[in-house]
Structure 1
Amino acid sequence: MSRTIRFNQAGGPEVLEFVETTVPQPGPNEIRIHVKAIGLNRAESMWRKDIYIEPVKFPAGLGYEAAGTVDAVGSSVSGFAPGDVVSVIPSFSMNQYGTYGEVIVVPDYAVVKHPSSLSFTEAASVWMMFVTAYGALIEDAKVTQGDFVIVPAASSSVGLAAIQLANYAGATSIALTRTAAKKQPLLDAGAAHVVVTDEADLVDEVMRITGGNGARVAFDPVGGPNFAKLLATLSFQGIAYIYGALSDEVTPLPVLEMIGKMLTVKAHNIWLTSGDETRRKAAVDYILKGLESGALKPVIDRTFSFDQMVDAHRYLETNGQFGKIVVTV
């Protein structure tokens, strides 16, 4: 028997329940993992509330990321064996699989042997943050030297990953934060520039930093009324990726300005990359090289124990973290 976390109705963190389950057998193309750490994501909070990109089927499990050791493999699985140290890349529906458990079963294509330099806590955090940012900045926008990349909500795990990936590709990152308290930590985390939006005019600052040209790329998880101002910071034929909806207000689009500057606005999520075998492999190879070289490194804000999962979800929803929240098992 092992414990897993499920919920029977949408709601706050208190709907999460610990359930004793029989340890499942892996199917032909599945891998069973003894979990050591679980990475938490905003997507799981939205899933718990049933406001995510697909409807929840109850009773429901949840979780996209985990790290641990292989316990058993399915009859058709190759390349993995019991005892292997692995982590899970988000590439499945939470209606089918979940990672919030002491022992989990996931599809073999979602399992990665991560670098030995990473702890279980770090390995549980890397794939959502880096693959999400990689898909937009590296795979699609192909940022490179001379490009400026604006990163709103830069202290989030994906925001910090975007800063690192922009640097890794030779581009120049411009991190956005609302409060001055996070300015120095963002600079220490690798941001070339930091704009404190509660203290300075965003458009004026970006134009100053870019010599009046604007940034080629913005990578935004917020939306809302400030999205139009974000678009105003872009260069001619700039691209804005919107991959979240942290603001619950309407997101306006300045149509005439978009036409005049020939801007592109793209909705983005990790599935563009992780849902395609070829793209997923390219992303994993790219990120593994960055992790092994030290150019990419997850930033962990805080850890909780498995028994504290409800508290961890409450903390996740305060939006005060700097980096990733991880639960140890």
Structure 2
Amino acid sequence: MTTSSAHTAITGAITGAIAGAAVTGTAVTRAVLFHELGGPEVLRVEDVPLAQPGPGEVLFRVEAIGLNRAEALFRAGGYYYRPTLPGSRLGYEAAGVVESVGEGVTAFAPGDAVMAAANFDFGVHGVYGEHAVLPEGSLVHRPEGVDAVTSAAAWLSYSTAYGGMVETGGLAPGDHVVITAASSGTGTAAIQTARRMGAVPIATTRGESKRERLLELGAAHVISTGSQDLVEEVRRITGGRGARMAFDGVGGPGFATLGDALAPGGTMVAYGFLDPRPIQLSMNWPLTVHAYGNGVMCRDEAYRRRAAAFIGSGLAGGTLAPVIAETFDGLEAITDAHRLMDSSTFTGKIVVKV
């Protein structure tokens, strides 16, 4: 069967299922699915049966979705796990309100404001839709008084920055930390998190266009890697010592250069791989290198409590404030939102209101 005919068959099956649901009175909802790998154009908004929560699960109505680079990689087949096609779902991060809970759920009740904890396979449990069903352990309560758009932009970026730099890397007051991909959602969250910890954030960006914005967002220093020597600049900033930590979402051969910019005994935390080439290590030993997986960290209930307390108090006190690059209205805008994400011309998080 060809890809086209397979897609036609799947579409027909879904249409038949929806028609059957209408006859039997089963509720339907809308979700974003994709049936083949590719660019933003493969994303489709489709009617699907509204799933009900099973034991240990929670059904919530989605109010806003936060987009992440991982989802663009997954959609294109470049993430560390691959979608099951056709009919894969998508999305790690969303904020909403609980509608019903399954047997045995004790932490949530209908009416609770929640956000997804991004610790699940989003090909199965993806939150791009009007509703989502997640295991109880894949949700956290939204900070009191924080709106849905802000909440949808908060959890994954700040829990990655907090978990990677503070809990894993041991970031301490006075430490210099080099933050790559600094204009991304996690990068801007890392700048704010470093400031909150009393550390000194050194942001890197490829060109000059984002320098002033990163300084406005709290970076103590900005290095343009397209025109400045990273190692020389870090050494100059730190009085020749080198930085205590590197927090890296890029990977690839440049990882070795980051290591060269650290002080002896420094710590490298790799949380992403925007550069798909193999990571190379610096010979500036001794170094401690962590391959940080936020999804794994967020499976631990005690860690979720600590991260939620850090994020919630930071949002309430104003030391943490998600940078929203652009807000789109409606699921139909998901393709345009992904096009913006692929462009890398923005700073902060992209959010889609549902």
TM-score (norm 1): 0.94
| 1:318 correspondence with 2:346 | no
- The answer on whether the counterparts of 1:37 and 1:327 sit within 8 Å (CA) in structure 2 is yes
- 1:321 match: secondary structure: coil
1:289-308 Cα offsets, whole Å, 9 max, x none, are 22222111111001112111
Partner residue in 2 for 1:246: 274
Aligned-CA RMSD value: 1.5
Partner residue in 2 for 1:223: 251
Q: Residues of 2 paired with 1:7 and 1:217: CA distance?
A: 39
1:264-298 Cα offsets, whole Å, 9 max, x none, are 22222212421222222222222222222211111
Unaligned runs of 5+ in 1: none
- The answer on whether the counterparts of 2:140 and 2:304 sit within 8 Å (CA) in structure 1 is no
Partner residue in 2 for 1:32: 59
- 1:115-264 to structure 2, matched below 5 A, reads 115-254=143-282, 257-258=283-284, 261-264=285-288
Per the TM alignment, residue 188 of structure 1 is displaced from its structure 2 partner at its CA by 1.0
Q: Residues of 1 paired with 2:280 and 2:113: CA distance?
A: 46
Per the TM alignment, residue 50 of structure 1 is displaced from its structure 2 partner at its CA by 2.2
- 2:346 match: secondary structure: coil
Structure 2 counterpart of 1:17, which letter?
Answer: R
- Work out the number of aligned pairs and report it: 325
Q: Residues of 2 paired with 1:155 and 1:55: CA distance?
A: 26
Q: Residues of 2 paired with 1:251 and 1:74: CA distance?
A: 43
Partner residue in 1 for 2:88: 60
1:294 to 309, 318, 333: 318
Partner residue in 2 for 1:16: 43
Per the TM alignment, residue 200 of structure 1 is displaced from its structure 2 partner at its CA by 2.0
1:175-213 Cα offsets, whole Å, 9 max, x none, are 111222211111111111111222322111111111111
- 1:95-114 to structure 2, matched below 5 A, reads 95-114=123-142
| 1:284 correspondence with 2:284 | no
Structure 2 counterpart of 1:56, which letter?
Answer: P
Structure 1 counterpart of 2:110, which letter?
Answer: P
- The answer on whether the counterparts of 1:273 and 1:283 sit within 8 Å (CA) in structure 2 is no
Per the TM alignment, residue 247 of structure 1 is displaced from its structure 2 partner at its CA by 1.9
- 1:135 match: secondary structure: helix
- 1:322 match: secondary structure: coil
Structure 2 counterpart of 1:319, which letter?
Answer: S
Q: Residues of 2 paired with 1:274 and 1:299: CA distance?
A: 22
Structure 1 counterpart of 2:231, which letter?
Answer: V
Partner residue in 1 for 2:352: 327
Q: Which moved more, 1:172-181 or 1:72-81?
A: 72-81
| 1:309 correspondence with 2:337 | no
Unaligned runs of 5+ in 2: 1-27
Structure 1 counterpart of 2:349, which letter?
Answer: K
Name which one, 1 or 2, has greater alpha-carbon Rg: 2
- 1:252 match: secondary structure: coil
TM-score (norm 2): 0.88
Q: Residues of 1 paired with 2:169 and 2:255: CA distance?
A: 19
Per the TM alignment, residue 237 of structure 1 is displaced from its structure 2 partner at its CA by 0.8
Q: Residues of 1 paired with 2:123 and 2:275: CA distance?
A: 26
- 2:226 match: secondary structure: coil
Q: Residues of 2 paired with 1:246 and 1:54: CA distance?
A: 15
Partner residue in 1 for 2:298: 274
Structure 1 counterpart of 2:270, which letter?
Answer: I
Percentage identity across paired residues of the two chains: 44
Q: Residues of 1 paired with 2:67 and 2:156: CA distance?
A: 9
Q: Residues of 1 paired with 2:218 and 2:79: CA distance?
A: 31
1:158-187 Cα offsets, whole Å, 9 max, x none, are 011111111111111101112222111111
Per the TM alignment, residue 250 of structure 1 is displaced from its structure 2 partner at its CA by 4.3
